Amino acid sequence: MAPPRNRRPGFSRRAQYGLFLGYVGAIGGALVGAVLLLLSTFNPPAYAMVRGFFAELTTPVSTALAWVERGFAGIPGAVSEHFNVQGENERLRKEIETNRTLVDRARTLNQENRRLRQLLGLKRESADAVVAARLVSSTPTSTRRYAVLNAGSLQNVARGMPVREADGLIGRVIETSLNTSRVLLIVDSESSVPVRRTRDGLPALAKGRGDGKLDVHSASLTGVGFKSGDVFVTSGTGGLFPPNIPVAVIAKDARDTAEAVPAANPDALDFALVLKPFLDEPPPEHPAPGGEAPKAAPK
Amino acid sequence: MSPPEFVPLGGSERLPRARWLAPLSVVIGSLVTILPVIATFTFLPPFGLLMLLGWRMHRADAMKVWAPVPLGLLDDLVSGQPLGSAMLFWTLCFLAIDVLDTRLVWRDFWQDWAIAAGAIGFCLIAGRLVAAPLSAHVDTALLIQIVASAALFPLATRLCARLDSDVKRN
């Protein structure tokens, strides 16, 4: 194709002005885009309303597609289950027998724990689930890690609430609209979660790397040494994430900053639980740009 | 081959379907992000941008020069990038391609492809710089995304040509 050397579209004034106004519109639009970009860099929640409106339109489609996907993904499992029922039954019966003593001991411990807590007069932690919903879509073309949850303010989801699944922490709600909300995943490069090591209670911060993994930094000491296989759970510091939710497992031995694999897989075809913030006080009105987790000094 | 349609002198010609199909296909490309997949790293090419560049290279008059402004706004609303980024970068690409049109007058497909690859690289790298902090470990995934998107560009132009085929048929 050979574009004309002369950009003038002919002798028609109307066509000439049209072309000129087109360029005016393009350059004006680019400038508006630049201004919006500056605004959204300094105040990320600024466009929550507009995004929420769009999410209201697209989320039902995502939810339906996810439903279809689950239906198909469940077929192989259902087939193999059908043939394995007999063996599975035997195995589970045996497991119940072996677990009975463990369960009894756990019950006793639980009771004792409750009694001791009452003696100490500790405040009851609110770790109740607000709603069980599904993560239905995310941002696979972007370098940021958000997901859309198909429950919103009508289902009592509010900004700042932690989101988890059975295996561990997924992230926290940063924007809500009526029936949808946006979740900042813990693997996002601007998320950080206060954690502690299960083995010895070592406080640390789990920061997202942006490539699906986490970086765990020691929060107090230097040269602590992380061992591959160390499990980190939320510490409850900062009052946002309830304590003892699995967050990450260290992948490689390291001294100060260790690479870790998140404990939960948000793409698992399962429910996500939205929890109340750990302490009942409301989360900060405007989280730091990008929605960083509160970085209170660990105890 | 159907005979060419009869247009009376002074009557207006039927608009090619590219006029409405081009923006629509870009919007559908942007809406790929509503697929039910929870990504923990960047893995999909920006299909909206690919379709936009495909149309621009295949048929320059399919969209006005200001078309990337509203299309970019819509992409920003669903892509997770900060609002305004695609609006700005896509429009800059369009303007740059318009300038190149006056410099590289006779082009073949390889040059179109190279220009599109440059535009994709510019949009994705600029988008990464404004969206994620410099310390984020997203660059490997970003590089793969750029290469994959550039490799998909010929497919995007073929798709645009297919969508545009009503003009060729008559």
- Across the range B1-24, mean pLDDT stands at 72
Q: What pLDDT, on the 0 to 100 scale, is given for residue B2?
A: 53
Q: Does the pLDDT at position A54 exceed 80?
A: yes
B127, B81 contact by CB (below 8 A): yes
Q: Which two tokens stand for residue A222?
A: 């230097």
Q: Does the pLDDT at position A4 exceed 60?
A: no
- Across the range B151-167, mean pLDDT stands at 88
Which of the four pLDDT bands, split at 50, 70 and 90, describes residue B127?
very high
* Model-level ipTM above the cut of 0.90: no
The boundaries of every CATH 2.40.10.340 domain in chain A are 130-282
How many CB atoms neighbour CB B116 within 10 A?
25
Half-sphere exposure of A267 (CA within 13 A, CB side): 16
Q: What pLDDT, on the 0 to 100 scale, is given for residue A298?
A: 44
Smallest CA–CA distance, residue A185 to chain B, in Å, is: 8
- Across the range B144-157, mean pLDDT stands at 95
Which of the four pLDDT bands, split at 50, 70 and 90, describes residue A290?
very low
Which of the four pLDDT bands, split at 50, 70 and 90, describes residue B153?
very high
Average pLDDT, chain B: 88
Q: What pLDDT, on the 0 to 100 scale, is given for residue B11?
A: 61
Q: Which of A26, A139, A190 sits opposite B33 (nearest CB)?
A: A139
Q: What pLDDT, on the 0 to 100 scale, is given for residue B70?
A: 94
Which of the four pLDDT bands, split at 50, 70 and 90, describes residue B1?
very low
Q: What is the number of domains present in chain B?
A: 1
Which of the four pLDDT bands, split at 50, 70 and 90, describes residue A2?
low
How far lies A275's CA from each of A97, A134, A247, B27, in Å?
33, 14, 15, 35
Q: Is B15 on the interface with A (CB under 8 A)?
A: no
What residues in A contact B141, CB-CB < 8 Å? 143, 210-211
- Across the range B112-123, mean pLDDT stands at 95
Q: Is A74 on the interface with B (CB under 8 A)?
A: no
Q: What pLDDT, on the 0 to 100 scale, is given for residue A297?
A: 44
Q: Does the pLDDT at position A80 exceed 90?
A: no
Q: What pLDDT, on the 0 to 100 scale, is given for residue B25?
A: 94
Percent of residues, chain A, with pLDDT higher than 90: 30
Read off φ and ψ for residue A126, nearest 5 degrees. Answer: -90, 100
Task: Kindly identify which residue of chain A lies nearest to residue B46, measuring between CA atoms.
Answer: A141
Q: Does the pLDDT at position A291 exceed 50?
A: no
Q: What pLDDT, on the 0 to 100 scale, is given for residue A292?
A: 45
Q: What pLDDT, on the 0 to 100 scale, is given for residue A24?
A: 94
- Across the range B143-150, mean pLDDT stands at 95
Question: What tens digit of pLDDT does each residue of B30-74 get?
Answer: 999 988 888 888 889 999 999 999 999 988 888 889 999 999 999
Q: How far apart are CA B62 and CA B75, in angstroms?
A: 19
Q: Is B132 on the interface with A (CB under 8 A)?
A: yes
> By 3-state DSSP, what share of chain A in percent is helix, strand and coil, each rounded to 5?
35, 25, 40
Q: Does the pLDDT at position B168 exceed 60?
A: no
Residue B9 lies in a domain: no
Between residues B4 and A112, the one the model is more confident about: A112
A169, A241 contact by CB (below 8 A): yes
Q: Which CATH architecture describes the domain A130-282? A: Beta Barrel (2.40)
Q: What pLDDT, on the 0 to 100 scale, is given for residue B137?
A: 87
Q: What pLDDT, on the 0 to 100 scale, is given for residue A293?
A: 45
- pTM of the entire predicted model: 0.81
The alpha carbon dihedral of B38, B44, B49, B54 has a sign of negative
**Domain of B72?**
18-34+43-169
Between residues B165 and A24, the one the model is more confident about: A24
- Across the range A248-260, mean pLDDT stands at 90
Q: Is B95 on the interface with A (CB under 8 A)?
A: yes
